[in-house]
Amino acid sequence: MNIVHTHAGDDSDGKIWGIEGLNILFMLAGLLISIGLAHMLSRHHSPTFSVSAGAVPFAVITAYVFGLRQGKPKSFDTDLLETLANGSGWQSPAQQSRNPLFSHAST
């Protein structure tokens, strides 16, 4: 009898309702923040305003999860943020400085 170890489950983060691993925790945290905000606002504002303002954190986090994390490669969201903040980090500079060891070479 041959035993073949595939390790198929070792690198899986799992899925809950089709949402990958840690992403479900982001969404649950957003839902908790939204419920708390709606509850705090309901004491002094109308129900429509409270629910609308309370839904904003959940909507933002859901857009973040499905836009930048779900189904994307690991660190896609942080790499994109770094690229947007610092420019294109994967290309060499347009104007590189001259190598000081070969400054006597003809150009």
Tell me the DSSP string of 48-82: HHHHHHHHHHHHHHHHHIIIIITTSPTTHHHHHHH
Question: Is 99 a domain residue?
Answer: no
Question: Is 68 a domain residue?
Answer: yes
Question: Is 62 a domain residue?
Answer: yes
Nearest-angstrom CA–CA distance, 7 and 4: 9
Residue 107 has pLDDT above 80, yes or no: no
Q: Identify the CA nearest to 58 among candidates 81, 39, 35, 90.
A: 35
Residue 88 has pLDDT above 90, yes or no: no
Question: Is 30 a domain residue?
Answer: yes
What pTM, to 2 d.p., does this model score?
A: 0.63
More confident site: 39 or 101: 39
Q: At what angle do helices 47-64 and 23-41 cross, to 10 degrees?
A: 160
- Give the range among 37-46, 48-57, 89-98 with minimum mean pLDDT: 89-98
Length of the chain: 107
Owning domain of residue 48: 15-85
Q: How many domains does the chain have?
A: 1
Nearest-angstrom CA–CA distance, 89 and 83: 6
Nearest-angstrom CA–CA distance, 85 and 82: 5
